[in-house]
Amino acid sequence: MENKKRVVVGLSGGVDSSVSAYLLKEAGYEVIGMFMKNWHDESVTISNECPWMEDSTDAMLVAEKLGIPFQAIDLSEDYRERIVDYMFSEYKAGRTPNPDILCNREIKFDIFLKAAQKLKADFVATGHYCQKGQIQKDGKTIYQLLAGADPNKDQSYFLCQLNQEQLSKALFPIGHLQKSEVRKIAKEQDLVTADKKDSQGLCFIGKVRLPEFLQQQLKPKKGEILMVESSHSSYQNIQIPAGIAFDDLDEKELSNICLPLQYGPSDGKKVGEHNGAHYFTVGQRKGLQVGGTGKPLFVISTNTKDNVIYTGLGEDHPGLNRFGLFVPSEEVHWIREDLRLKPGESATYKTRIRYRQPLTGATLLMKKEGLYVLFDQAQRGIASGQFVAWYQNEEAIGSGVIF
């Protein structure tokens, strides 16, 4: 009889990972449940919103119910180093981090994967709504990261930084199901997590009061909110010239379209004050507390060095919408290494710049210095530090950090 393949499931204490463990067991795998403890500081977690104690108990009860071994692993040191420190430094530099994408790359599919391999695991599994495919090409197996079957829950974007090695070891047991089906299975199996609300907030921490959390490190600092008129001269150059092929754009045109505009104090008039530019992100409208403007004000740029926030009036303000973005070459990541663009090459893909955003067509232009992404339709609130991911049909092909 063939040896059973061993899988370590990241049991988070939620319904998705619980059902993942059940399905793997049903499929004949030898399953071990493992709870990752990533956070100790209760002071910044919103009270009673999935604190880790309750989650780890739920995870343990699920493991017991399924009759699988269970252990907890404390990854809080690694988490602080790789995720929390990264968030602080990004906010401090005026960029908008995406801790969930990093948590998958650095924690779940790196540190956790290594811990699982110490237990001689063949695979690790998570409760992500995405699917894995594989194809043969030139005699090699290539793994594919595919969208989850539930369009409202597709989480492939959060996994867009995984590589072939990580994908080869990953299983996503619920990716082919709808959320409602997952809940139904949990109920039928009488799992304690069946009716548990989906956790919001940082991966494996629960709801965290982000501003307060950041304020521990980044002190409030009064600064000006400036409003830039939509007739500002720098907006003349950010359109894609009509009737021109993307490949024919020169370096200056590409830069105008794809790099964030740099504003100075003389570009806007003061409309209010804020408590720290690092608390704001491009595209944000809440929290500015500026009244009397008629239309809503949106953040179009932040300068953390000078502690100034630049805003524009109304959602069609030209500073809020851009036709392109740039990813420096060291930040360009290909899940499908075989499809990597070389300098001078271009390709068309569907893209998204945030989770659950509908996919939109774009042309990718690879140059020596990095990747230029030119959208078919202008995109709102392109924030430095966030990730752009590109897709072919249902498959995530690659991703990169927006400059």
**What's phi and psi for 270, nearest 5 deg?**
-70, 130
DSSP letter assigned to residue 262? P
The Cα-based distances of 165 to 107, 177, 336 in angstroms read 15, 25, 11
Q: Output the CA torsion sign for 20, 21, 24, 26.
A: negative
SS3 267: helix
38-44 contacts: CB < 8 A, separation 24 or more?
38/75, 38/76, 38/79, 38/83, 38/107, 38/203, 38/204, 38/205, 39/76, 39/79, 39/204, 39/205, 40/76, 44/208, 44/209, 44/212, 44/213, 44/216
Half-sphere exposure of 130 (CA within 13 A, CB side): 25
Catalytic residue among 130, 160, 203, 258: 203
Active site residue 258: no
**What's phi and psi for 179, nearest 5 deg?**
-55, -40
Measured over all CA atoms, what is the biggest interatomic distance in the chain, rounded to whole angstroms? 76
Catalytic residue among 50, 103, 130, 258: 103
Active site residue 103: yes
Catalytic residues: 103, 203
